[in-house]
A and B are shown apart, each in its own frame.
Chain A
Amino acid sequence: MILLLFSIFFVMLILRIPIGISLAVSSSIVLVLSGFNLSMFPQKMFTAMESFPLLAIPGFVTAGVILARGGLTKYLINALEAWLGHLPGGLAIVTVLTCTIFAAISGSSPATAAAVGSIMIPAMVNNGYDKKYAMGLVAASGTLGMLIPPSIVLIMFGIIAEISIGKLFIAGVIPGIFLSGVLLASAIFYARKNNYKSMKKASWEEKKKHTFKAVWGMLLPIIIMGSIYTGIATPTESSIIAVVYGIIVSAFVYKELKFRDTRTILVESINVTSMIFLIIGGASLLSLFLTNEQIPVALGEWLGTINLNKWGFFILTGILFLILGVFLESVSIILITLPILLPMVYYFGIDPFHFAIVMTINLEIGMITPPVGLNLFVVSGITREKVEDVVKGVFPFIILLILALILVIIFPSISLWLTEFMK
């Protein structure tokens, strides 16, 4: 039965049917075959979407859209350039840092790569950087959007595993900064090796001017994480605070957002949100089938019979995510695999918060591994270059991120240390 399910699912994927519909239809077919009535499925799908914590997704997606349009990204880049542009590899450093800060406001990787890449890739190329390198750097730094909170992937993880989303966000902070640091170090190293020229030093006047302009945007990550960390607001509430703050700053301080932009922002944000919610609905039918067939239990029993330890489990799941990452994007992977993997995580005594971070970094790497890495397509879309060229540029970063992932796996405290202080 499960074989039938996955064959139908993959045939539908090959036919280029949207993933959410593929999940819903293939699961419905096998469920009907095992005696379920079609009429209960719409309600099942609706119930899966009917959750207040899930609303953090539209919230943070909208915040990201407003930020990219409302000038916050641009001013952030100007300020960072004024301070760091004169260092060797200055523009590469600015790229990584802007991605890091943007990631701390938006919840998704493609959004981060698109917002920063459209400004920074041309800037780097104009300053003599190798174009392949510039594209690779943006694609790789963009993946930080997924790990650095807020994060759509971590929201989904928290809902499926029924653990605190706020605490998951906190767990993502240090690994996020760590990965960002790794990328920064590589950027500096690479720029020194190739003797890339740096920009001329900005005067104090310029520094002051750009910093004052950018400070409004820089406050936003502090507001978001601060309100979650102190327990003042739930992630959903803090996402709405971010939206309102973003609107106020872009419309009244930067004056880059007009009322007539409402429709564009709405459509951009709904495009992403509806796509994710369709997948959530479709996956709810899959999980109904899996529970009904007691697949997680069977897998757990099978696990008891073979000799697998914790490390073997990390390696196996890593390979699994890499393979799935070839076909699917991150939200689908989480929805499909986590219900099955979760009992095993507990079986091996792995802290679920630690596993969440490891899984997220795995999925991040999946975003930049060919053939279906979403960030590769985003960057190729911005630059109008072939995906193959982006792949060449991104390859060294894949290795870097895998090394960082291994460290995060070996040292759980990188993920868990900050959460211990949370109320």
Chain B
Amino acid sequence: MPKVHVTTTINGEPMEFLCEPYETMLDALRGQLGLTGSKEGCASGDCGACSITVDGRLVCSCLMLAAEAEGHQIGTIEGMAHGEKLHPLQQKFLEHAALQCGICTSGMLVASEALLKKNPDPSEEEVRFWLAGNLCRCTGYDKIVRAVLDAAAEMRETAR
């Protein structure tokens, strides 16, 4: 039962690995690739805790085979900060207390970053509907939405 050989790029770094045909991208990230920042909450695409980007597009890594990463650019939570410099979203989540247990936080941040790349000036409603695929049970979403809106404002200001 041969494994699949995958050549891909993760957070800007070239990576090569072997995987089972049925292995999901989430399994590969959390297992052999040692990138445990993406979390498994449901393994069925209903909670968003496993969110990553593929060529910049937001996806659930539990709904993707690791084999499908071939030739694509994968972005995970681990690639969001640059060394010690946090992304404005990460900083605002901390300032707004937009996390409690933190299990949904990786997925929320990846999803939020994808939103702001597509729409740098979202309304509260647009933020809420974009993040509908990211379940949080601790915060009631209030501070998360505020953090995203605040980060968006700061990023627009910086871009000026």
Co-assembled chains A and B: no
A contacts, CB < 8 Å to B: none
